[in-house]
Structures are given as C-alpha cells and as structure tokens.
Structure 1
Amino acid sequence: MKQLIRYPRYQPRQSGLLCVSVSSSTQQVHRKQTGIDKTVTPCDNANMCESLSVGQVLDTKLAELEAAVDFLKKQNAELTSKQQITDAQLTTLNKDVENLKREVGQKVGFSASLGDDGLVRIGPTCEEQTVVFKNVFFNNGNAYNACTGIFTAPCKGAFQFIFKTIGLCDYNSGAYLAKNGERQVSTWRPKGSGRDTATQAVILPLDAGDTVNLVTWASNDQLFDNQYRYSTFSGFLLFSL
C-alpha cells in the first residue's frame, strides 16, 4: 500500500505581494504592502474629471463676467463724457439766454429836474461841482442816484443823454456832461435880459460801471430853476453792446 506524501501548502510572501479582494458593495481595491493598507476607489478618477470640468466652467463664467464688467466700464465712461458735453452745452445755453435777456429785457432810463416847488440857484462858484437833480420823474433800473446826481451804467450799451440849463439875466449859465469825470458836451449862455436856456443831447457808449453827471462851470455862472422845472437831466439805454 502506497503512502501519501503531503507537501507543505504554499504560502505567499508578505513582502512585495499584492492581494486583491473585491467587495460587491463598495467595489474597492485594497492593496496591502508591508502591513500598510492603501484604498483606491474606482470612482476617484471620475470625481477628479468632474472637478476639472466644474473648474473649467467657473473659469469661463469668470471670464464672461470680467468681459461684462469691462463693457459696463466702457459704457459708463462714454456716458460720463456725454454728460460732461451736455453740461458744457447747458452752461453755454444759459449764458446765451442771460445775454439775450440783457439785450432785450434791459430797460434803463431816468429823468429829473433841478427844482421842484421852490426856487433853486446853484452858483456862482469858483469850483466846479456836480449838479444834483433831486426831483426825479422816472428812474427805471435805479441807475440814477438822486442824492449824488450821478448816473451809473448797469450794463454795456449805447446811452443817450439830454439836458437843459437855464440862468437868470445877471449871470452866465451852463454846465457840461462828464463821463467818468471827463468832459463830453456842454451848454452855455451869456448873461442878458430875461431867462436864457440851453439844451444839449449826446449818445455815449458806456461800459457797466461807467458814470455820467452834469458839472457846473467854475466861473461867474449860475443855474436856476423853480416850480416850472426848466433845468432837466435825462438819459436812457438805446441798446446793449
């Protein structure tokens, strides 16, 4: 009877060998090497691919948003530029309107007499002096000052002035019209019988702030007036310049 020989069962070496076990529930691959377990999940690669895909989508969205922001910035710059142009045009239009108002709507004029109810005499005097016409008939724009006798131009324009002087028979009479203190035109009558009158008119170009007034002669002259208001001073704006 033959004797059975039993060989030792082959045992795989633990070092450097790969043992694979498959679990139907997790489908994981276990690798054991030198007593250290490392788990590799089959779906890891899919998750990685999915993460890369999501990142690419986000990068695309970010690029689109950045482009949209750049576009909006450009539009905002254009609108700002247009707004600045509109503001400049509006400022120019307002200036034109104001100039037009000054040209069309500016109404300046005055008229006054030397006397009112009582007798008024100015001179004779050895010094020139401003003649103050205190009895004001009309003063639209308030450019004439009845306290100083001085007219001040409120705007640049062409102004017409008319004045009349009268003296008694014992004195010469007359005055001159001054613009900013400089003589322009004048009246003069020698003494004689009765009451002698003289009238003068002139158109002057004035800038805003220029002054006009009547001044007596520094000699044996005298101006006279009473309730009949012979001596008068008037002026008004013809048109703007």
Structure 2
Amino acid sequence: MVKRDEKAPSVPPLASEELLLLELLLRLLPQLKLQITHQTSRSPQVKVPIYQKTFPQDIYAALREMTASLVQLKADMRFLQTQEPAAQQKTEVDKLKQQQLEQAAQQKTEVDNLKQQQLEQAAQLKTEVDKLKQQLQEQAAQQKTEVDKLKTEVDKQKTEVEKLKTELEKLNKQQLEQAAQQKTEVDKQKTEVDKQKTEVDKLKQQQLEQAAQQKTEVDKLKQQQIEQAAQLKTEVDKLKQQQLEQAAQQKTEVDKLKTEVDKLKQQLQVRQVAFSASLVVAGISRIGPVPSETTLIYKYVPTNIGNAYNSNSGVFTAPVRGAYHFEWHFNGDTSQGSAGWLVKKSEKVFAVFEQQGTGFMSASNGVTLLLEVGDVVFVRLTAGSVVFDNFNHHTTFSGHLLFTM
C-alpha cells in the first residue's frame, strides 16, 4: 500500500474510460441474469447435468471478483492520484485501464462461450425431446393400428359366431323334426314287425308240419335208395370184374403187339447203317509224327445213319450182325511217311502206307468184314507217321451195312 500524504491534492473525478467500463459492466449484469434465468426455465422437465448447473454460480463469482477489483482499482487510483504527479498517475491509470479492458474483453468472451454452450445444449436437448415425441407418436399410431386390426378381427369373429349360432339353431330344429319323423316311422315299422312276427310264427308252424311230412317221405326214399344202392353195387362189382378181365386180356395183346413193333423197328433200323467222316471240320490239321500208335478221331461227320459212329472216340460199333464194308484214306505232306491200320476190336486187318521225298501224298484201302453185334472198328496211325487234313477233307473214314445175317 502507498502511504498517504496529508498535503496531497484532492482526488480528481474519474476519467471517461472508467465511466464507460463501469457502465458496460452494469449493462451486462442484468442481461446475464436474464439469460441464465431463461435457460433454467425453458425445460423444467429435462434433467440438467451437474456440470451445467455450475455455470451461473461461476458467472456471479466472476462478476463479484470484477466488481471488487474495480472498487480496489478505483481506490488505488484515487490514492495514487493524491500522492504522485499527474503525469505518472495518468500513465499508471492508462495501464490499469488497459488491463481492465483486456480483462473485461476476456471475461466477455468467456461469458459468450458459456452462453453458446448453453444454447447448444438446449438445442441438443430439444432435438432429443423431439425424437422422443416422434417415437412416442409412431408407437401410439402403431398401437392404434394394431388395436383397430384386433377390433376388426373381433367383429369378424363375432359375426361368424352369430352365423354359427344361427346355423346350430337351424340344425337343432331340423334334428328335432327328423327325430319326430323317425319316431313316427319307427312306430309304424314296429307295428309292421309285430304283424310280420305273427305271420312268421304261422309260417314256422306250417313249415314244421311240412317238415314232419317231408321227413317221413325222405326216410322212405332213403330206404329205397339204400336198397337200390346195394343192387347197383352188386352190378358194379360184376362190371368191374369183367372190365379187369378184359383189361388183362387187352394188356396181354398190347404187350404182344409192342414186342412185334419193337422187332419190326429193330429190323428197319439195322438195315439202315452208313457213315462218312474226315479229320477236321474246318481249317488245317497235321497229326504226327506220333511216338506210338494213335487212334484217329474223325470230327467232321456229314453222314451218320443209325448213329453207329462216335465222333468223340473215332470208333464204329456194329448195331446188328451182318456184312459191313469200310474205306479209309490218308494224306501226307512230308517225307516222314503216312501209315495206318484198320482195326477190328484189337485185330489189325488192312493197312495203308505212302512215302515220297517232296510234295503231298495219299494212300487208301478198303475191306468188307463180318461183324457181330457190339464189334468195334477204328483206324490207328502207326508210330512215327504223319497225317494231314484241311477244309477239303482229304483224310477220311467211311463204312456201311451191306446186309444182315
């Protein structure tokens, strides 16, 4: 603090700048109070956060501090004016004014910022409230629509229930009428049944009487049938005996006829014996040289009357006693030689042989033999010999029955 001097001159009046600053503060103070009061009363139903409630108190505190500072500055300026020269006091006062103006501008900016924040928060709250109102309105409209649908459905169901009720009443009425009609018909039918029952009883009595009479007649007929059956049985037994005797006689005659037929068939069959065969059916075949005597099997059999020749074994079997004529032909293609025997059972009868240096060669022979039933005849290739045949059928074996004996 600056010490006061009793001889200092009197305090001069405030400058025009100081008066303007004070007037500005006094004008701002009511506007701030009005704005704060308006903001807090706009949305009484909206819950204001705690940090927003501290804004009015901070503004009042700032105003109080500004007022106290101005009062102190004013007192200090007056004191300095009484102690220092006018030029020095003016300089200091100008500085103080400048500082006060800067502080006032800064505080005004802060107050404007606070007002802007409060306005933005109020707008945001208003937007949220509008959204909530819109949602509530939409929900109310949707619920109203659903309620209307439910009312419509209830009305429809009510109409259907009334229709069903009407139909049920009609059906009940019809059923009652039908039941009355059916009862009447049943009563009529019952009366008719009683009448029919009486008639049936009469008919039963008549049938019983007729049955008794018929039974007597049937018994008589049965007795007559038994007597007739006994007579017929005796006659049938006699006829059966006669038929058995006739059948035995016919069987004997049939057996005789069968024997004669078999003999005739045998005679016909044994008179028809003939065959011809060659080694191969198709292609080319060369047999030999063989290490030992080998029975030739002639596969191609164009003729086999009586089936006396077996193409699987190459053997002819005499079916009947008689004279048979046989012929066999060999064909060879090398200098190895071709030789073979016609064999009756195990007896070598006639042979064939041929050999030359080059080219094809052939040999053949024939014989007539007396054969008993079951005698076999076949052709055997000698050891070391070769025989050839192809699709032209050069190597063959044939025979036939001349006559029976």
Q: Does residue 229 of structure 1 match 2:393?
A: yes
Structure 1 gaps of 5+ residues are 1-82
Q: Does residue 108 of structure 1 match 2:263?
A: no
Larger radius of gyration: 2
Shift of 1:191: 3.3
Distance 1:110 1:142 in 2: 8
Distance 1:161 1:141 in 2: 16
Distance 2:261 2:403 in 1: 17
Distance 2:392 2:320 in 1: 33
Structure 2 gaps of 5+ residues are 1-248
Q: Does residue 184 of structure 1 match 2:346?
A: no
Aligned to 2:339: 174
Cα shift readout 1:17-72 (whole Å, capped 9, x = no counterpart): xxxxxxxxxxxxxxxxxxxxxxxxxxxxxxxxxxxxxxxxxxxxxxxxxxxxxxxx
Name the TM-score, length of structure 1 as normaliser: 0.58
* Greater helix proportion: 2
Aligned to 1:197: 362
Q: Does residue 214 of structure 1 match 2:379?
A: yes
Moved over 3 A (4+): 93-105
Distance 1:192 1:132 in 2: 27
Query: Would you say the 8 A contact 2:269–2:306 is kept in 1?
Result: no
Q: Does residue 135 of structure 1 match 2:300?
A: yes
Alignment of 1:66-81 (within 5 A): none
Query: Would you say the 8 A contact 1:158–1:205 is kept in 2?
Result: yes
Q: Which residue, out of 328, 333, 352, partners 1:163?
A: 328
Distance 1:124 1:169 in 2: 10
- Determine helix, strand or coil for the equivalent of 2:294: coil
Pair 135,105 (structure 1): closer, same or farther in 2 beyond 3 Å: closer
Report the identity percentage.
39
Q: Which residue, out of 271, 275, 286, partners 1:121?
A: 286
- Determine helix, strand or coil for the equivalent of 1:225: strand
Name the TM-score, length of structure 2 as normaliser: 0.35
Shift of 1:118: 1.4
* Greater strand proportion: 1
**What CA RMSD, in Å, does the superposition of the two structures yield over aligned residues?**
2.3
Query: Would you say the 8 A contact 2:335–2:355 is kept in 1?
Result: no
What is the count of residue pairs matched by the alignment?
A: 153
More RCO (CA 8 Å, sep 6+): 1
Distance 2:262 2:402 in 1: 18
Distance 1:233 1:198 in 2: 12
Shift of 1:101: 5.2
Corresponding letter in the other structure for 1:221: S
